Amino acid sequence: MLSARPARVPSPPRHREETAIISIPHPTAPQLTIGVDTHLDVHVAHAADQLGRRVATVQVPTTPTGYQHLLAWARGLGQPVAWGVEGTGSYGAALARFLAANHQVVVEVNRPDRTARRRHGKTDPVDAQAAAKAVQAGDATVVPKAGTGQVEMIRSLRVARQTAMRARTQTINALKALLVTAPATLREQLRGLSVTRLVRAAADLEPGPITSPLAAAMLALRTLAGRHQALSAEIDSLTSERDRLTATAAPSLVALFGVGQDSAAALLVAAGDNPGRLRSDAAFAALCGACPVQASSGKTVRHRLM
């Protein structure tokens, strides 16, 4: 008797394997550090990504349009996180102010030393790259002066006043030297006078027609005396405005015993319009060159000022 064959159990249907579609996100914008080598007429900028790799280099003119083009160029490459700018107190001052006004992080970078330049060469793109590297390595961390308030006004007046004082000193020295070789009658007339009386007497000279060495000497002395008086008037005007601004900007500093207007103005200019960039009293002492640093070697233990 034949046995019945077992019924064939159908195997479960095979499902076709589906390939999962994995969406690969687009790479995020690179975090850029931009170094800028500054000059009088052009600035050269080097953009580096977060790994220090070169992204691009550009050269722009030192004009408001050039600064806007530079910022737009950097934003087109990625996200600028920091700008290392050389010479923020000179050629890079206008650019630093522009970047700060556009909410960019600006760091002051010192120019590369001569040893590094001899080793790596000297070009503007190389200097800009070195500025970017200094920021990324943490070697450059100083926030530049803002230069947008009363302290910047005081600095401008101090520059004009100091140059006027030097010119006045040169003028009185020239007047006295010319008097030494002047004709005897003129020399005896002005000999032994104080500076104030000498300038006043020389300014009152009447040389007349220049037909003799005496007349020429009188004209030269009168000219120098007039220059001295004009410079004195400039100095008085600049001093008055400097003192007014200093008393307004830091009345408590001016009120300190032993702190005059000139010393107070110098301290304010050293700190800048944004003194918050100085983290401590020690940082300010280092900025002023009054911070002692180790200078020991072997058995010699000593310190020196920065």
Q: Got the DSSP string for 5-67?
A: PPPPPPPPPPPPPPPP-PPPPPPPPPEEEEEEEE-SSEEEEEEE-TTS-EEEEEEEESSHHHH
pLDDT above 70: residue 162: yes
- Of the given ranges (7-11, 22-26, 270-274), which has the lowest mean pLDDT? 22-26
What's the pLDDT at 38?
95
223 φ/ψ sector (left φ>0, alpha ψ -120 to 50, else beta) = alpha
Token look-up 């830091």 returns 250
* Mean pLDDT calculated for residue range 109-135: 82
| 31-137 classified as CATH 3.30.420.140 | yes
SS3 272: coil
Strand-pair partners of 57? 46
What's the pLDDT at 107?
94
DSSP secondary structure letter of residue 275:
G
| Bridge-based pairing state of the strands 31-38 and 79-86 | parallel
Rounded Cα distance between 165 and 169, Å, is 6
pLDDT above 80: residue 19: no
pLDDT above 80: residue 106: yes
pLDDT above 80: residue 127: yes
- Of the given ranges (46-55, 102-111, 135-144, 288-297), which has the lowest mean pLDDT? 288-297
Rounded Cα distance between 198 and 67, Å, is 53
Strand-pair partners of 51? none
What's the pLDDT at 25?
43
Residue percentage of the chain with pLDDT more than 90: 69
Rounded Cα distance between 224 and 241, Å, is 26
> What residues contact residue 90 under an 8 Å CB cut-off, 6+ apart?
38
> What residues contact residue 131 under an 8 Å CB cut-off, 6+ apart?
35, 36, 37, 46, 84, 85, 86, 109, 140
* Mean pLDDT calculated for residue range 4-22: 49
pTM over 0.85: no
pLDDT above 50: residue 22: no
Exposure string over 85-117, b if 16+ CB within 10 A, otherwise e: bbbbeebbbbbbbbbbeeebebbbbeebeeeee
What's the pLDDT at 268?
93
pLDDT above 50: residue 1: no
> What residues contact residue 193 under an 8 Å CB cut-off, 6+ apart?
201
- Of the given ranges (16-25, 77-86, 204-213), which has the lowest mean pLDDT? 16-25
CA-only gyration radius of the chain, Å: 35
Rounded Cα distance between 32 and 46, Å, is 10
Residue from 53, 88, 57 nearest 74 by CA: 57
pLDDT, tens only, 253-284: 999 999 999 999 999 998 899 888 888 888 88
pLDDT, tens only, 228-237: 999 999 999 9
- Of the given ranges (82-86, 239-243, 272-276, 282-286), which has the lowest mean pLDDT? 282-286
pLDDT above 90: residue 218: yes
> pLDDT class for 292, splitting at 50, 70, 90?
confident
What's the pLDDT at 26?
45
Q: How many of the other CB atoms lie within 10 Å of CB of 212?
A: 12
Mean pLDDT across the chain: 88
* Mean pLDDT calculated for residue range 189-208: 94
Domain regions of the chain by residue span: 31-137, 150-273, 277-306
> pLDDT class for 287, splitting at 50, 70, 90?
confident
Rounded Cα distance between 303 and 252, Å, is 33
CA distances from 101 to 16, 96, 98, 146, 147 (A): 61, 9, 5, 10, 11
Residue percentage of the chain with pLDDT more than 70: 88
* Mean pLDDT calculated for residue range 27-44: 91
Residue from 38, 27, 30 nearest 76 by CA: 30
